[in-house]
Amino acid sequence: MGLLDNKVALITGAGQGLGEGTAHALAADGAAVVIADISPANARKVADDLTAAGRSALAVACDVRDRTAVDAAVATTVSEFGRLDILVNNAMTLRFVPFEDATSDDLLDAYRSSVLGTFNCMQACFPHLRERGGKVVNFGSNAGTEGGATMATYAAAKEAVRGLTKAVATEWGRYGITVNVIVPTGSSPAWERVKAGLTDEQLDKMLERPIKRMGHPVDDIGRIVVFLSSPYSDYMTGRTLFADGGRSKFR
């Protein structure tokens, strides 16, 4: 028996990285997972991998910035599985640029993919989550909670997601819906791009934490999303959980 047996989860940005790891973790605990990604090929690959492992999975192409596309993804989910219990908002674009070189378009792009995307998905899923006292897990970032160099637009958007989370948690508690944030530091394509440009000294600084490694997408990050998606977190809402090997302990 899994913690999420008979539950259905829609996961955005699940075609790679931490979103993919989250999909594997939720599926391993019994959930049927919908792999929503802007890349149809990436979504299909993850769904095929899960199906080959005996899990229940469906791929949908979805640009979370587009409300029509989000509505279609939700409709497909409910049509295929008959319900929707869990929403995981992970999708986000990321561009590294010094603040003095950042443009208003950079900021708007970050907000559209993260804040607007999260807004669109939560609103579209709300009728189904309300039926079942559902779960929402939004992804934050240490870039926002600490302040990440060359990541000002990304940091601003991620902190806006945390504010949105707290406000919606306050409103939706009466429906039995919990809305929480996970702030992870995990291995992902985005992390590999960052790592490639770091000196040894910079890498040591990045890994300054009691557990001196990046989190595994499934075992370290995905399993915390499982917790936030399960009955074990029913009395938690509007909260931020740091899955960062203790990095935030020093901040």
- The reported pLDDT for the residue numbered 78 is 99
Mean pLDDT along residues 141-166: 92
Bridge partners (DSSP) of residue 139 are: 182
Q: Is 154 a catalytic residue?
A: yes
Q: pLDDT, tens digit, for every residue of 182-230?
A: 999 876 666 566 656 666 665 556 667 677 677 899 999 999 999 999 9
Mean pLDDT along residues 148-162: 93
What's the pTM value of the predicted model, to 2 decimals? 0.93
Q: pLDDT, tens digit, for every residue of 115-138?
A: 999 999 999 999 999 999 999 999
Name the active-site residue from 111, 154, 175, 235.
154
Alpha helices in the chain (DSSP H): 17-28, 40-52, 67-81, 104-111, 117-132, 142, 152-172, 189-196, 200-206, 223-229
Q: Write the CATH number of the domain with boundaries 8-242.
A: 3.40.50.720
Average pLDDT value over all residues in the chain: 92
The three-class DSSP label of residue 8 is strand
